[in-house]
Amino acid sequence: MGYSREIYRKAEDELNRRRQKAFTDAEKRRERIYAELPEVRELETKLTRTGVAAARAVFAGGDTKTELEKLRSENLRIQAEIRRILGTKSYIPADLEEVYSCRLCKDRGYIDGKMCSCMRSLLRSTAYDEFNKKAPFSLERCTFDNFSLEWYQNTPNQNGNVPRRRMERILQYCRSYAENFSPNSESLLMEGATGLGKTHLSLAIAGRVIDRGFGVIYGSAPDLLMMLKAENSYYNTDHTVLENLEQCDLLIIDDLGTEFPNSFTKSAAYNLLNARLAREKATIVNTNLSISEMKRNYSDRLVSRLVGDNEYLTFIGEDVRIARKRKNRD
């Protein structure tokens, strides 16, 4: 699927704005130059006439070569005279032309039917901006490189597991997941207490996946389910939210278990996960709930989907925010 239609629309709108600005700015420069050097306007009019005359010569036939050579010489003479006159005021011919943000495609986004690098960059930045509007932290803030393992204990916990080793493996796994992501990659269930880095690594994955041209939607479970409930009206025929959530390349559901539990939220959560599973779409679900707590809160079908069909990553250690505060006090 890649970036959503909305991302493409916003990017195309930006390119239209850039082209219009280039045209408007050039018009202003030309008018300023014409006011100072009116003969330049006259010469440009003559230049246009030579172009029209050349086209007529081709259509008329006859001794086309001689006529075109004559018109070419006249064209070059006029261009040289324009350069000379512009130079008297320290102008150059480029001052009469549009200045585009991208000289390759002239802010059209495509070259000979192929997407220009500027369009790819604009799509990425637009997708970043749209994602950041909904995420609790910016993608620039949450990366793999700034995910620090120093906050995780390097000694075994009560279960004999070393938090730092566990989190190092999870970090490596998430990095590899993002680098090798495809729309039908396996889904992930990130489970663990608050403050252990689930959201950070989810956003790090999102940033890299967006960089690679895929469409990603993030939302907390309460927000996503609230949007679905608002859309689930008898009189509403627009199901854009549901379609986007079901069809995006990667959906990140954060804080599952913090939503208000009722029959709708339980049903909607199951239906959404089931629909994405049927479409072989990847989903990342983050929760503070243990499996036993999930079983108390949700149906067996939903827990089965979460645990049985997802790669299960258990985050362990001490709340990183608490560890940071303690270190700052020390």
The Cβ of residue 330 has, within 10 Å, a number of other Cβ atoms equal to: 5
Which residues fall within 8 angstroms of residue 88, CB to CB, at 6 or more apart? 37
Identify whether the C-beta of residue 257 lies closer than 8 Å to the C-beta of residue 222.
no
* Residue 127 pLDDT > 90: yes
pLDDT in tens, 14-37: 999 999 999 999 999 999 999 999
Q: What is the pLDDT of residue 53?
A: 64
Nearest to 174 by CA among 252, 238, 107: 252
Question: Which range scores top for mean pLDDT: 11-15, 136-140, 183-187, 244-248?
Answer: 11-15
Contact between residue 167 and residue 160 where contact means Cβ atoms under 8 Å apart: no
When computed from its CA atoms, the radius of gyration of the chain, rounded to whole angstroms, is 30
Q: Sorting pLDDT into bands at 50, 70 and 90, what band is 121?
A: very high
What CATH number should be reported for the domain whose range is 135-329? Answer: 3.40.50.300
Residue 297: predicted pLDDT: 84
How high does pLDDT run on average in the chain?
88
Structure tokens at 280: 């072989």
The model's confidence at residue 184, banded by pLDDT at 50, 70 and 90, is confident
> In this model, does residue 152 exceed pLDDT 80?
yes
Mean pLDDT, residues 60-76 taken together: 72
pLDDT of residue 234 exceeding 60: no
Helix count (H) and strand count (E) of the chain? 12, 7
- pLDDT value for 238: 64
Q: What is the pLDDT of residue 301?
A: 86
CA pair distance 213, 174, nearest whole angstrom: 18
> Region 246-264: what's the mean pLDDT?
90
pLDDT at 262: 85
pLDDT at 84: 92
Q: What is the mean pLDDT of residues 50-74?
A: 69
Query: For residue 286, what is the DSSP state?
Result: E
Q: How far is CA 305 from the centre of its chain?
A: 29
